Structure 1
Amino acid sequence: MAKARTSQILESGWSFRQTDGPDDWRSVPRVPTNVHLDLLAHKQIPDPFIGLNEIDVGWVGEKSWSYRVDLPPIPQSVKDTGARVALVFEGLDTFANVLLNGQSILCSDNMFMSHRLDISDSLQERNKLEIIFEPALLKAREIKSQHPEHKWVGFNAEMARLAVRKAQYHWGWDWGPVLMTCGPWRPVRLEVYQARIDDIYVDYTVSDHHKSVQGAVKCQVDGPSGSTVDIKVAIPDKESVFKGTAAVKDGTVTIPFSISNVSLWHPRGYGPQTLYTVNATLRTDGGELLDSQTQKLGFRSVKLIQTQDDIGRSFHFNINGVDIFCGGSDWIPGDSFLPRISAQDYHKWLEIIANGNQVMVRVWGGGIYEDNAFYNSCDELGILVWQDFMFGCGNYPTFPAILESVQKEAVQNVRRLRHHPCMAIWAGNNEDYQVQEQEGLEYNFEDKDPQSWLKSNFPARYIYEKILPDVMQKECPSVPYHPGSPWGDGKVTFDPTVGDMHQWNVWHGTQEKYQIFEHLGGRFNSEFGMEAFPHTQTIHSFVTESSELHPQSATLDFHNKADGHERRIATYLVENFRMTTDLEKYIHLTQLVQAEALMFAYRGWRRQWGQKRRCGGALVWQINDCWPGTSWAIVDYFRRKKAAYYSLARVLAPIAVGVQREHHDWSVAHARPAKSSRFSVWAVNSKPYPVEAQVELRFVAISTGDDIKPSVSKTMQLVANGTTEVINGVIDNVKEMPHVLAARIHVDGQVIARDVDWPQPYKYLSFSDRGVTVCQDLDGEKGTIHLSCKRPTKGLVFEERDGVVLSDSAIDLVPGDGQVVRVSGVKSTIPLRYMYLGM
């Protein structure tokens, strides 16, 4: 009788110890895990996220650690069927020697790879599994010393990290701590089977009219011949749209299919996120079940449009025949200790991204190929994924062993992720071409001989321009590949006319004023940012001494890993706002600076989407943190949203309005005001059809709240999927008192978009006596907050109470335009605290 495949996760029963320490095995709460989590569970180390404890736990990463577990018994009746027994390790971090009954069965040195070991012939009556993890920190230094021929250069952390296929941020980054983990960081499984389905790949093409799809379901089968595979493709809760059966031949099955009237998967806001279920069933010729695997996928076409134009070469995405402005953010790993991120955590994070009107997230190349749950949520929520391969900020070596490991790593992860419709692009690395430029490494774009690249002092080119594109062409040819981020077809990485760019001349580099952000961008801006403090609750989570609760304390500085952050935060604050030493007000000011800076960037770049696609997208650095601290994140470690999150959600709404006066550099002009200033009002519409709208502009005095001249109103068609220029004018700064320009869009009688432009800098303005009224009705699970003012008010930011979701925050108010904030998750009638500029 045939034996159907069984799979058991080895989650409990494990113990661990320091390999060269006493024989005192301690219990492990659960696997997946890492050593820091288990030491914390036994109170052997302090919480490294609190205070300066990161320093005190550094020794952990320099020791070897062992894990062991007794395998469940395999019944004799199962063995008699001729079934195979396999151990599956979905992820081992990083240098791991796996022992079964004292015999080594695997030596792994790549955190990003999974392993399947047939242990059928090694089993005894009782079986003990042990994994010895050597310290990646010391191993990396050893490997580096063995290759003096390589030029070990890069940005962030020590360069020994380049020698090891481990998450690079574990070595410390300019936003995160040095916490060198090890352990079975992804599940360990015991499988028993006679034959099994190893891989399902649905290779398909969407028709030019985007109404049908043709392709083939391809299955790899592991096991003896003499079996068949049944395929069923269906939309949940509906009848199957395709069924097919074929015999296994040489371990493979290919079943062609065709679906007419297909329901495509679309990015959020552009149509439904239809997901089909592919069920593959493996049976013996006699019909007995051997294995069954299910995979979800969505049908869509994805193109990276790079065509010559009057600027250079475009760079934007087209999904299902529709150009998409990809406003979104960059994602770093959600925790320094990866095993404690649950599927629910991933979904909550991605809901935050989706609810912020973001349509793309970039998985950064110094972290990990994310958990399946991450991509599943992106599929469900309609979020496109820009996926980096895991190379970040360095000149990576190319000795034979690491090239072999990289090739296997790429194949595994591309195969694991290729069925996800959210996958829009794979990029070879993060900023490695910038390292090449800044370090003067050899690079001749015209040289197309891969073997010569290996002989240069920038051999990593072989990875990005040979190994990875070859893998993509073979395993996933329908998804675009981009050699790096940033990258521009052999031009310098800061060329604004081609490819994508990382614009860091605000904050880093020349530290330009953020008011000119829009003039600093390129064809696709895949990194840019501004730091801000997290909310007070987050600061209290890691500052335990009341004497450290001030803006310049050692603990607060320790929890900001960016070089020179003290000077840069101070520079952008002092240039724009009146300074304070009060911690609550200081937090508020840093968040306003971040919100303003990113708003200027997104607003200007989305305007440039226009009809000519001058800018194809903007991904802010960064959406999240891996620990509590001050960084470029717009949502902190505890998922508390900073002011910038709300500002960007307004700018990225399906229909948004922009109003802006021309920049006057007050520092160069020695605070002498311009006699006049040009201004403009525009509207952006991401919908695939024109929208009838009324666009209104008011001129409101900052000191009195009065309209200083009649408003302007236009009823017009907002062009489909583009920008509509609405109003242009001139402000007479001599005759007219300082005032804000307040723009709104009405559709069907409802205000759906607002923007307020202020004279810059804010430090020259008086914000006393704003006459703000905040009426909070929080009785029950849901509530409302009504806002109004007598004089223009800047940046009203609410506290981020855990579990409470706000429809808006970081709000600018003008008289006569009351706003309503919807609140959900309310557990208390206690009003939310808030702060606005000058309060």
Structure 2
Amino acid sequence: MPETISLNIPLNGTWKFKTDPENLGECYPEELVRSFNLDCRYMDENYDDSAWNDISVPACWQAQGFQYNGAAWYRRRFDLPASASVESMNSACNKVLGGGKRFRLRFLGVDYFADVWINGFYLGSHEGYFAPFEFDVTEFIKPRDNLLVVRVDSPNDIRVKHSMDHEQKTLIKGALQDWDVNNLEVNPGGIWNDVELIVSNDIYIEKTRVDTEFELAESDPGVSDPDVATILATIDVFSAEGRPGTVCCEIKIQPANFQGEPIIHKTTLNVPVAKSRHTITIELPNPKLWWTWDLGTPNLYDIEVTISRADTVLDRFKTRFGIRKLSKGEGWATFLNGKRIFWRGSNYLSDQLLSNMDRARYERDVRLAREANMNMLRTFCVVEKPEFYDLCDELGILVYQDFPMQWRMARGSDLVRRAIPQMRDMVDLLYNHPSVAIWCFGSEPGRENFEKLGMALATECRRYDQTRLVQQANEYPNHWDILALKDKYKWDIDFHYYSGWYWGPVEELHSFDKAWFEVVTEYGAQALPCRESLERFIPEEDLWPPKWRTYKHHCFQEDLQLRWIPKPENLDQFIEDSQRYQAFFLKYHTEFYRKMKFQPCNGALQFCFNDCWPAVTWSVVDYYRKPKPGYYALKQAFSPIHVIADWPSDLAPGEPLDLGIYIVNDYLRPFPGLIVECRLLYRGSDKEQGEGILVASRSFLLDVAENSIIPGQRFHMEKLNEVGFYKLELTLKDENRTLSTNAYEFKVDPGVEKRDRR
């Protein structure tokens, strides 16, 4: 069929730009004194912008060198390409349609408030940094010399240097504005994502939302697919024809990343004036389910919806989806396609200036996470670009999606009214992504926000999206009276644990109620990046001896770091000791949680994956994407099948060594006949020298069931007399290959108090 479908005209490129700290741009001449009565009406077609700065769109204006917050103006002139002129398009379609074309101006991301004019006509306003929005400009567009003007206001919501202000935030910007991992002197602003003019027929598809339903026997071993899946395509159609009519609708569903035959479904839609919604049900035989990479294959489908009339295509809309089912059992028991899953992951914000990110950079990050054996990323109080979610779909990574609210927000009802539409925008934007598993509406929000703002958002979200898990907030123990609200709101809390950083030593974890470890969504310790990275943002004169003010401006908590490592004598030792401690911290915490798999722990998300600006933080990958040793410690501790021991304490001479050995298996397949090898090495007085002398070795055979944790045997030595350092090495293998390795160090020291082990 001949196609006259939508044409997207990019409006990116060089625009004119002017900051407006005094808010003169919308004033009329008579409102200003005579000396300044020409410094206004920036949206007028005759306004002279030749003295304005040039700026690239899309980009946060900070990325273009403008360290500014407040109102600013963008102007751009453009002509329609010949193929998009009203006259040429109308003549091509009038014979069949008896109508014309629509021109829609679409913005994919403006931070934060936007007011838009075209050719001197005001179009409207939008709030929120992440959601696309558009205006119909058909009656205002011209073939040549169109003027597009945008006023962007990205105000400083709070005084970032005043701690009490951080409890009064009214802008929904989350960790982009207020976070202990970002640059508090940068509050992003500007047209940071694409701008385009969409030319379509008078009847066009606004969006297509895909739901899937299927039956799967939970008793099936391993990964299996259902016999049939029901696809529900909800299609929003807009008609500007001015009269009701009908259109033919063809829906094609075909595999996107595997081989298979397409399914084509045809029907007729009755299209009234303006917007209409149509839900079409399609049976898909022998579907392939979407899984995380460790449980199966992240199978994806493309759905293409075409509407036509009289052999002419009116519009075509294509999107991608996956067939999967998420559910929650008792507490935080989480099921993907009927199989219980243990979360292994981290907290992620790509870059404080999101315009710096593109698909290649996102792919680098998501692959780094997957290579570290992670199956989930929590987007920390941020909505990322769509490319991030595309890659999580493709690579089989679940997303714990925060709404962009960090810590405490203002308590007024006005914020509730403004937040709920942005919640719907977030759900609409990400709805078809199978990777998105959880919506969360508060990161350590405090009682006031939890009971009002978080409650309103979570309640409305449960109505708006019934296919995902909804969490009202996450918290850390004893922050406020959370246990009382846990019962009142039937709130399954996912906790944050910082034993070994903010609190007591890592061993303090054993003092908490075991029931509080159902899901852990933050745990971490800071570490310096490598010297090469550090020298890129800390001035040479401030590196060593360290000028703490400079380090603190880059997020470093030197007082806490020096609680856990020896006082450094030089910069290289400082870097090495901080990185070694972080790696120890992450190994200890991660193994502690994994040994409680499903009893009661269902997952652990480390804080945080990467730096979103040049900084010294809890990240395991620095801003320049160089992994720290903590990254490799996580990679090992997150091995889907792993051998773990009880963490050995230092011993007094003559004390016994007695450690439990555990095998944790997150795969949906059993491993029969595995071999566990244990080797105890004595390394003398210097643990850094040589492999050591073999003191004892043990090995045993065991069968490991799918998705389980089992205690193997105990590694026991009646007593250790030799003073010095020891290393316990563990190897898990089958008859062909090594599946996992692990190691623990401890010492025998006369200074250790001998314990009564009766």
TM-score (norm 2): 0.83
Q: Secondary structure at the match of 2:635?
A: helix
Structure 2: state its 5+ residue gaps.
Answer: 23-38, 40-48, 92-98, 218-224, 685-689, 753-758
One of 432, 453, 470 as aligned partner of 1:463: 453
Q: Secondary structure at the match of 1:99?
A: strand
Write out aligned runs for 1:97-496 (5 A): 97-124=115-142, 126-137=145-156, 140=157, 158-159=165-166, 162-171=169-178, 173-193=180-200, 194-209=202-217, 210-211=225-226, 212-223=228-239, 224=241, 225-236=245-256, 237-250=259-272, 251-284=276-309, 286-305=310-329, 307=330, 314-332=331-349, 334-365=350-381, 368-400=382-414, 402-432=415-445, 435-436=446-447, 458=448, 461-474=451-464, 476-486=465-475, 491=483
Q: Secondary structure at the match of 2:636?
A: helix
Shift of 1:192: 1.6
2:674 and 2:701 in contact (8 A); partners too: yes
Give the AA of the match of 1:36. Answer: Q
Seen in structure 2, the aligned counterparts of structure 1 residues 567 and 160 have a Cα distance that, compared at 3 Å, is closer
% identity of equivalent residues: 21
Seen in structure 2, the aligned counterparts of structure 1 residues 25 and 677 have a Cα distance that, compared at 3 Å, is same
Shift of 1:748: 1.8
CA distance, structure 2, for counterparts of residue 184 and residue 255 of structure 1 = 36
Seen in structure 2, the aligned counterparts of structure 1 residues 217 and 27 have a Cα distance that, compared at 3 Å, is same
Q: Does 1:538 align with 2:528?
A: no
Shift of 1:102: 3.3
CA distance, structure 2, for counterparts of residue 761 and residue 107 of structure 1 = 69
1:69 and 1:129 in contact (8 A); partners too: yes
CA distance, structure 2, for counterparts of residue 154 and residue 362 of structure 1 = 27
Count of residue pairs brought into register by the alignment: 680
Q: Secondary structure at the match of 1:28?
A: strand
Deviation per residue, 1:374-416 (Å, 9 max, x gap)? 110001110011111122200433434x333322211121012
Q: Which residue of 2 aligns with 1:778?
A: none
Shift of 1:486: 3.3
Larger mean CA deviation between 619-628 and 315-324 belongs to 315-324
Shift of 1:121: 1.9
Shift of 1:180: 2.0
Q: Which residue of 1 aligns with 2:576?
A: 588
Seen in structure 2, the aligned counterparts of structure 1 residues 567 and 407 have a Cα distance that, compared at 3 Å, is same
Shift of 1:219: 0.4
Seen in structure 2, the aligned counterparts of structure 1 residues 699 and 171 have a Cα distance that, compared at 3 Å, is closer
CA distance, structure 2, for counterparts of residue 263 and residue 161 of structure 1 = 47
Give the AA of the match of 1:566. Answer: E
Shift of 1:763: 14
Deviation per residue, 1:217-255 (Å, 9 max, x gap)? 110001244322210111145321342333244423222
2:170 and 2:410 in contact (8 A); partners too: yes
Shift of 1:175: 4.4
2:178 and 2:406 in contact (8 A); partners too: no
CA distance, structure 2, for counterparts of residue 763 and residue 391 of structure 1 = 52
CA distance, structure 1, for counterparts of residue 180 and residue 270 of structure 2 = 49
Shift of 1:731: 4.6
Q: Secondary structure at the match of 2:190?
A: coil
Seen in structure 2, the aligned counterparts of structure 1 residues 741 and 109 have a Cα distance that, compared at 3 Å, is same
Shift of 1:659: 2.1
One of 44, 47, 53 as aligned partner of 1:26: 53
Q: Does 1:648 align with 2:637?
A: no
Larger mean CA deviation between 289-298 and 76-85 belongs to 76-85
Seen in structure 2, the aligned counterparts of structure 1 residues 76 and 658 have a Cα distance that, compared at 3 Å, is closer
Write out aligned runs for 1:783-802 (5 A): none
2:681 and 2:693 in contact (8 A); partners too: yes
Q: Secondary structure at the match of 2:746?
A: coil
Shift of 1:554: 4.0
Give the AA of the match of 2:396. Answer: G
Seen in structure 2, the aligned counterparts of structure 1 residues 749 and 518 have a Cα distance that, compared at 3 Å, is farther
Seen in structure 2, the aligned counterparts of structure 1 residues 7 and 398 have a Cα distance that, compared at 3 Å, is farther
Deviation per residue, 1:195-224 (Å, 9 max, x gap)? 211111122212133503113211000124
1:71 and 1:127 in contact (8 A); partners too: yes
Shift of 1:459: 6.0
1:99 and 1:105 in contact (8 A); partners too: yes
Deviation per residue, 1:111-130 (Å, 9 max, x gap)? 23332111122335532111
CA distance, structure 2, for counterparts of residue 96 and residue 518 of structure 1 = 51
CA distance, structure 2, for counterparts of residue 587 and residue 261 of structure 1 = 54
Deviation per residue, 1:586-617 (Å, 9 max, x gap)? 211111100110101111211110xx431100
Q: Which residue of 2 aligns with 1:604?
A: 592
Q: Secondary structure at the match of 1:105?
A: strand
CA distance, structure 1, for counterparts of residue 137 and residue 750 of structure 2 = 70
Shift of 1:26: 2.2
Q: Secondary structure at the match of 1:700?
A: strand
CA distance, structure 2, for counterparts of residue 652 and residue 494 of structure 1 = 30
Shift of 1:487: 8.9
2:60 and 2:355 in contact (8 A); partners too: yes
CA distance, structure 1, for counterparts of residue 485 and residue 743 of structure 2 = 34
Q: Secondary structure at the match of 2:532?
A: helix
Seen in structure 2, the aligned counterparts of structure 1 residues 354 and 708 have a Cα distance that, compared at 3 Å, is closer
Write out aligned runs for 1:571-586 (5 A): 571-574=563-566, 579-586=567-574
Deviation per residue, 1:397-444 (Å, 9 max, x gap)? 3434x3333222111210121111111111122111xx22xxxxxxxx
Structure 1: state its 5+ residue gaps.
Answer: 40-44, 46-56, 145-152, 308-313, 437-457, 667-671, 766-839
Q: Secondary structure at the match of 2:13?
A: coil
CA distance, structure 2, for counterparts of residue 430 and residue 155 of structure 1 = 20
Deviation per residue, 1:113-172 (Å, 9 max, x gap)? 3321111223355321111223411xx36xx9xxxxxxxx99978337611233443245
2:723 and 2:749 in contact (8 A); partners too: no
Seen in structure 2, the aligned counterparts of structure 1 residues 470 and 135 have a Cα distance that, compared at 3 Å, is closer
Deviation per residue, 1:83-129 (Å, 9 max, x gap)? 12111122211132222233432233322333211112233553211
What root-mean-square deviation, in Å, do the aligned CA atoms of Structure 1 and Structure 2 show? 3.1
Give the AA of the match of 1:461. Answer: E
Q: Does 1:618 align with 2:566?
A: no
One of 684, 688, 707 as aligned partner of 1:721: 707
One of 734, 740, 750 as aligned partner of 2:727: 740
Q: Secondary structure at the match of 2:180?
A: coil
Seen in structure 2, the aligned counterparts of structure 1 residues 749 and 352 have a Cα distance that, compared at 3 Å, is same
Larger mean CA deviation between 723-732 and 155-164 belongs to 155-164
Q: Which residue of 2 aligns with 1:639?
A: 625
